[in-house]
Structure 1
Amino acid sequence: MKMDRQLKNDVLAELRWEPSINAEQIGVEVQDGVVTLAGHVDSFVEKWAAEEAAKKVSGVRALAVEIDVKLPSLSQRTDADIARSADSALEWTTYLLKDSIKIQVEGGWVTLGGDVEWEYQRRAALDAVRNLMGVKGITNNIAIKSTVSAKDVKSDIIEALNRRAIIDSHKINVEVQGANVTLSGTVDSWAERDLARHSAWGTAGVQNVQNNIIVAH
C-alpha cells in the first residue's frame, strides 16, 4: 500500500507527463488514498484530462475534483455559438439520429438531454461536445432506453467480467433491479473498477449503473 506522500508524488508526476495539462496550475492533496485536485485550468478538456490522469495512478482509492475552468479571453464564446457548434459536432462526429439529443447552454455549461439505446451512444455525444472551445462544463442527462428484458442483464454482466482476465469476477457482486445495476465488492486498482463499470454499461438494457466497488490495496 502506498503512503499518501508517495501517492501525491505519483499523481503530480502523471499530471506533468500528460502534455495536454498545465500541471503548474493544479494542486494535489492526498489523505488515506483519497486524492483531491484543485486549481484553475484554461479549458474543460484540460480539467477532464487531469481527472483521467489521476485515475490512472495505482493506489488512488477515490478522487475529488475542485478544479475551476477559467477561459482565456480568446476562448470565450456566447452560449448561442456553443450551442450551434455542439449541434454541428453531434451531426458530424456521431451516428445519432438528428434531433435525438437536446442541447442547452447556460454560462458556457452544456447540458445534454434526450434518449439513446446504448451507453456507447451516450458517451459518443459527450465526446463530441467535450473538446469544443468555450465549454466550461458538461452535464450528461441523456437517458438510455431499455431494449431487452432485465432478467438477462445480470448473467450478461457476469459473463463479460469472466471474459476479461485482468478482473477476478468473484470479487464483484452484481445486483439488478429492473434496468438498474449496482456493483459492489473490491478490486486491486482503479482501472479494474472502471472496467467493471464499462462491462455493466456494455450490457443491453442497462439504464443506470451504481458503482460501489472499493479499490483495496
Structure 2
Amino acid sequence: MQTLDTQTTPARPERVADADITTAVEMLFHTKRGVNAHLIDIVTREGIVELAGFTDNLLARSRAEQLALAVRGVRGVINELVVRTQEVPDQQLLRDVELALSSDAATADYNVRCAVAQGVATLTGMVQSWVEKQLVLRVLEGVRGVRGIEAGHLDIRGSGLVNSDEEITAQIQELLDWDIRVNSVLVQVRTSQQVVHLTGTVGTAEEKARVVATAHQAGAVRVDARDLFVACWALDPHLRPDKLAPKADAEIGAAVRDTFRFDPRVLSYEPTVQVQAGVVTLTGTVSNLRAKQAAEQDARDVVGVWDVHNLLRVRAGQLLTDSDIRRDVVAALARDPYVGCTDFSVNVYNGKVYLYGRTNSHFEQEQAGAVAAGVNGVAAIENRVEVFGGDQPAGTVPAGATAPFPADGLSPDHALAARVRTCYFWSAALHAQDVEVQVDNGRVTLNGTVHTWHERKQAALDALEMGAHTVNNHLRVAAGHDRG
C-alpha cells in the first residue's frame, strides 16, 4: 500500500517540465481507451500541448484534447488532429445524422437542418442557447463517418431579451461562485458590449475551459480569456476555503435551481429541489433519462452539496412502443464510432433498456450505456455488457518523476497499482490528494480523503480505465461526508 504525498505550496510555484508533460500525455493516450495513441504526435512548449496526427472519429479527437487538458502542468491544448474516418456515402451519412438528431432526447425538437458533402456536415437553423448548440455538435460528433462539422450558420436566437453587461457579469460571477469545479476568488469578470473578458488565475487548463464555458452559458457573444492564466499553485485547497465550507440549505437549493436555468435538458421540467444538511433530493417528472442524469450532475456541481437523491420519474412526452425504442437504441449503437462494430443484444420492457454483449474495456461498456441513455423514450438502463480484455499497457517514466511508475517484471496486481498511481500522479485533480491504492486479483480498493465528490468519482473511473476489473471506492470527501 502506498499513499500519494506530493503536496506543494503556493510559496514555491511549481512548473512542470515540458518533457515530463509530453511523456505523461503519451502515457495516458496509451493506457486509456478511446484515443488512437500510435497516430498522434505530441509536443509541449511552455506548458502548451500541441496535438498533431490523426484520429478515426471526432469523439476521439475531442477525447484526446480532454485527456491532455486534465494533466497537471498543462496550460492549454492546441488540437490539430485530422479526422480520417471510414468512408460513408454522403446520402447514407445524411440519413444517419438526421436520425441521430431526431432520436436524441435533447435535440429531437430543435430547429436544425443538415447537409452532408464528403463527410462534412453543415448545420443551419436556430437554437435557443449556446448550450443547445453544444448539444447538437455533440450528437454529430457521435455519428460514425462524420469527419467535420460546419456550424457557422446554426444561429443562437435566445429568448429575445438581451441582458445588460452588468447582468451578464453578475450571472457569470454567481455561477462561478457556486461551481465546485472552479475557484472563482482568483477569477475576475468584465463585460463590454456582451464580450466577456476574463482575467486572473486558475489551477488547470480544464478549469479554464470550464470558466470560458460558463461565460458562454450566461450569454456572452464572445469570450476573451487571454489574460486568464493557468498555474499549479492555484490548485492549493487553502486558496479555496469557500468551496469546501458548508452552506445553508436554502442557499444550496437556490443555487441548484439556478444551474437548472442554464441547462436546456432540465429547464422545462422544473424539478422540485429539497435540501437537508447538504443532501439534495430531486423529485418531479422528466421526459427522458438524459434529463434525469443531467439534473443530478448539475446538482452535484454545486458548492455545499454532499449527496444527491435522484427521485425524478421518467415519463416519455410522446408514446413510443418498446419495439420503437429498441429499434432506435440499436441504430444509435450502430452509429457510434466507438462501439458501432460491437455485437450487442438489446431488450426493452416498459421503456427500460437491457444491454448485453462483450467489450474490451470499461470505457466501451460505459460508452454503450451512455449512447442508449440518450435515445428518446428510454426510461432506465440495465447495463449488463461484460468487459473482457487484458491489462492495459504500462506507461514510461518521465524524467525526474518521484511517483512510482510501471516497470517490467512486476506482477499483474503490482503493475496495475503502479499504473493507477501514475495516473493519479499526473492528474491535476488527484495529484496532491491523500489516496491509497491496493490491488488484489485485479480488484482496486481506494482509501483516503479527497476534496470533492468529483475527485472521488474521477479516482474510481481512472482506476477502471487503467485496467481494474472492479473498484471498491472507500474514499471520503474532505468534510467527512460521503458523496455516494
TM-score normalised by L of structure 1: 0.87
2:115 paired with 1:115: no
Give the letter for the 2:163 counterpart: A
Number of matched residues?
A: 213
The 5 Å alignment of 1:97-108 reads 98=109, 100-108=111-119
Match of 2:89 in 1: 78
Q: Pick which of 32-41 and 133-142 moved more.
A: 133-142
Match of 1:92 in 2: 103
CA RMSD of aligned residues (A): 2.1
Match of 1:20 in 2: 34
- Cα deviation, residue 99, structure 1: 6.5
The 5 Å alignment of 1:172-191 reads 172-191=187-206
The 5 Å alignment of 1:35-46 reads 35-46=49-60
SS at match of 2:114: strand
- Cα deviation, residue 39, structure 1: 1.6
- Cα deviation, residue 181, structure 1: 2.5
The answer to whether the Cα contact below 8 Å between 1:39 and 1:68 also exists between their aligned partners in 2 is: yes
- Cα deviation, residue 4, structure 1: 0.6
Residue from 149, 154, 158 that aligns with 1:138: 149
- Cα deviation, residue 179, structure 1: 3.7
- Cα deviation, residue 156, structure 1: 0.8
The 5 Å alignment of 1:139-154 reads 139-141=150-152, 142-147=154-159, 148-151=161-164, 152-154=167-169
Residue from 21, 39, 46 that aligns with 1:7: 21
Q: Which runs of 5+ in 2 are unaligned?
A: 1-14, 233-484
- Quick one: distance in 2 between partners of 1:182 and 1:15? 33
SS at match of 2:88: coil
Give a deviation string over 1:141-190, Cα, whole Å, max 9, x none.
33322323322211111111111244332322222234432323221211
- Cα deviation, residue 98, structure 1: 4.7
Match of 1:54 in 2: 68
- Quick one: distance in 2 between partners of 1:182 and 1:146? 21
The answer to whether the Cα contact below 8 Å between 1:110 and 1:135 also exists between their aligned partners in 2 is: yes
TM-score normalised by L of structure 2: 0.41
Percentage of pairs with the same residue = 24
Higher relative contact order (CA 8 A, sep 6+): 1
- Cα deviation, residue 97, structure 1: 6.2
The answer to whether the Cα contact below 8 Å between 2:188 and 2:198 also exists between their aligned partners in 1 is: yes
The answer to whether the Cα contact below 8 Å between 1:43 and 1:135 also exists between their aligned partners in 2 is: yes
2:171 paired with 1:156: yes
Which structure's CA Rg is the greater one?
Answer: 2
- Cα deviation, residue 5, structure 1: 0.9
- Quick one: distance in 1 between partners of 2:20 and 2:145? 36
Cα distance change on mapping 1:36 and 1:165 into 2, 3 Å: same
SS at match of 1:174: strand
- Cα deviation, residue 76, structure 1: 0.9
